[in-house]
Amino acid sequence: MASFKNRIKKLSSDKSPLILANDYESGISDIESRTVKNIKTLSPYLCAIKFNFHLLLPLGQKQITKINRLAHDHHLQTIADIKLNDIGNTNNVTAETLWSLGFDSVIVNPMMGPGNLEKLIAHAHKNDNGVISLCHMSSPEAQLTYELQVQIKSKKTILYHLFLEWATSLGADGIIVGATFPDIVSFCKKKSKGKVSIYSPGIGTQGGDIQKTIQAGSDYLIVGRTILNSRNPKETAKSLFDLAKH
């Protein structure tokens, strides 16, 4: 089997770099049926679908496995957005469960440290799965944390610079950099020299612009509420697809 990085790259090339953040707000009772409909209806315009922690918790093993199989049948990669962040053994056990449910990759929080991150990446790559590491999130308050100055021994740096360095040096498949910060997307693209793919959430509702984000260097565009809350999700996805392909 090809690696996750190559699988999603091919799908992006064949279709588009759009990833659906299938992250409905609380109170939605028919998550499974909505998700199934999204996969069947929107898959021609997507390369992947992402599921956040709060969406996975109400679902059971059987439902999640079914959703992942359906996504694969419709030529989509699946991403578990749980921002995994723990000690090595706990990370590996969690990842094994995700792989058994059919997920292709996991989003992680590098606050676990480089040693634990390296072990998790190696563990994932043994099975051709992927690890996408947070670098700088899309929310406005991300500036308060990811742009903090930190000191490692005698060296001072910015936190997201450190996360970028770890991701590139340890072989992560990608990094999360918000579309709402195109200058930071551009910085990460230049510094990473193609070693990691850039995944950018925050397109649309949060204020991220597709064309500016692509021009800044993002490889994958993560869109959620703009599609999910649309009166016609298929038409909205197609419009975004057209923008992303030009």
Q: pLDDT (tens digit, 9 = 90+) per residue, 184-208?
A: 999 999 999 999 999 999 998 788 8
**Residue 235, domain CATH:** 3.20.20.70
The structure tokens listed for 124 are 């994932």
Domain count along the chain: 1
Query: 62 lies in which domain range?
Result: 4-245
Rounded to 10 degrees, the C-alpha dihedral 80/84/90/94 comes to -10
28-76 pLDDT, tens digit each: 789 999 999 999 999 999 999 999 999 999 899 999 999 999 999 999 9
* Segment 76-130, tens digit of pLDDT: 999 999 999 999 999 999 999 999 999 999 999 999 999 999 999 999 999 999 9
Residues 79, 215, 178, CA angle at the centre, nearest 5°? 40
Task: Let me know how many helices (H) and strands (E) the chain has, helices first.
Answer: 12, 10
pTM for the complete prediction?
Answer: 0.96
Residues in a beta bridge with 177? 136
Band the pLDDT of 246: cuts 50, 70, 90. Answer: low
